Amino acid sequence: MKKRIVALLMCTAMVTSMVVGCGSGNSDSSSDASSSDDSAATTEDSGEAKDIADCTFAIVPKSAGNPFNEAEAKGFQEAIEAAGAECIVSYPEQATADAQITVLQSLISQGVDSISVAANDENALQATLQQAMDAGIKVSCFDSKTNADSRQVFVNQADTELIGQTLMDAVYDITGGEGQWAILSATSQAANQNAWIEAMQNVMEGDEKYANLELVDIVYGDDEPQPSTEQTQALLQNYPDLKLICAPTTVGINAAAKVLQDQKSDVKITGLGMPSEMEAYVGEDNVCPYFYLWNPIDLGELAAYTAMALVSGDITGAAGDTFDAGDMENSPYTVVDASDGGTEIILGEPFEFNPDNIAEWADVF
């Protein structure tokens, strides 16, 4: 027993020293430990200009096996590699905060220069990400944010209020401004979806225009096809007068569209979805008149430029900082204050996919 405790302590000590060691050597980068030793003396600590090409940038998406996350990682990787730097894409085993912590800790011990993470939980990553920042690693979030203390800046796909407004406008337009509608979300804890749903509710309460719209239910399909299918069927059964389902999640909108099409229902669907998956359901007389999303490749690309700007010292993550993002549409981008007390960079407006452009985008992502 004693031996075991000693062994455990030694292991802990070893890991700690590795983490600390990598952290200090990491101010000037590269996973190659030997080269960092001699250059450590010449380069000053954090904030100073560095040669991007010598740096290692890591991206931690929400989970593996999801084409949306894959597209984000692809955009990120291409931008990083175009700058001549090294890119590490580390998918967590599952879409949970625990799995991300494991991945993050391994990245910290590898001594990367920057971590961009799409958080599976707003608060759970705080200790790990602060450890990373203490070790001199630049931490930014994209897609799904952490709390303000765990990041330097958040790359937001679109302003939360704007998404709420856009989706409410779609609901208003498709229903003709009156009648029953429902929301099919991901899991009940999903930070993104909850924020958007809240934004939609705020929009609805804040304007008399929406007074004739009745939000009858919010159901959760857990971002899996089977529960999403079942919840959609239950909605149709419980509310025979339902006119529209709004699903602000890619799995949900796809599963619900399939149910509506199978049942030849008059109920319409809109929300946020992937064009390649929604192509079969979009059309004038089809179940989905139009839906929204942003380009995940662009989001990944912007996350990459943000990470590079942080590492090179062009920005610190404070509001008012501006930086160039290559040939991206809205470049240069400006860091602005976020509603949670931190700062963020906004990619742009949600993009509408309709019968006219769906075929073209379905080939892209």
Partner 1 sequence: MKQKSVLKQITKSREFSLVIVLIVLCIVATILNPSFISPTNIAQIFRNNALTMVMSVGMLCVLLTGGIDISVASILAFSGMIVGMLLKYKVLENTFLLFVLGCVIGIVCGLLNGLIISKGNVAPIISTMGFMYIWRGLAYVISNNQWASGADVVGYSDFGADGAAGPYIIIAVVFIAGFIVLKWTKAGRKIYAVGSNAEAARVSGINVDAVLIYTYVIMGFLSGLCGALSVSIYASAQPNMQYGLEMDIIASCVIGGVSMSGGRGSVVGTFLGALILALITRALPLVGIDAIAQNMVKGILILAVVVLNVVTQRMMDRANLERREM
Does residue 330 belong to the site contacting partner 1 (CB under 8 A)?
no
β-pairing, 322-323 with 333-334?
Answer: antiparallel
Nearest alpha carbon to residue 97 among 68, 137, 70, 128: 128
Does residue 276 belong to the site contacting partner 1 (CB under 8 A)?
yes
On whether the CB atoms of residues 115 and 139 are closer than 8 A, the answer is: yes
**Binder of partner 1 out of 262, 324, 356, 360 (CB under 8 A):** 262
Peptide bond into 332 cis (omega under 30): yes
Does residue 259 belong to the site contacting partner 1 (CB under 8 A)?
yes
**Binder of partner 1 out of 178, 224, 337, 356 (CB under 8 A):** 224
Smallest distance from the beta carbon of 1 to partner 1, in angstroms? 27
Smallest distance from the beta carbon of 217 to partner 1, in angstroms? 9
Give one DSSP letter per residue of 109-142, joined into a string: HHT-SEEEE--SSTTTTHHHHHHHHHTT-EEEEE
**Binder of partner 1 out of 215, 218, 328, 336 (CB under 8 A):** 218
Does residue 147 belong to the site contacting partner 1 (CB under 8 A)?
no
**Could you tell me how many residues make up the chain?**
365
Does residue 277 belong to the site contacting partner 1 (CB under 8 A)?
yes
Does residue 70 belong to the site contacting partner 1 (CB under 8 A)?
yes
| Residues near 303 by beta carbon (within 8 Å), at least 6 away in sequence | 59, 72, 75, 76, 116, 140, 142, 155
- The residue count for binding partner 1 (CB under 8 A) is 36
Residue 131 or 194 having the CB closest to partner 1? 194
**Binder of partner 1 out of 254, 295, 306, 343 (CB under 8 A):** 254
Does residue 188 belong to the site contacting partner 1 (CB under 8 A)?
yes
CA distance 221 to 356: 29
Q: How many CB atoms lie within 10 A of CB 108?
A: 24
The residues that touch partner 1, with contacts defined as CB under 8 A, are: 63-67, 69-70, 188, 218-220, 224-226, 229-231, 233-234, 237-238, 251, 254-255, 257-259, 262-263, 276-281, 362
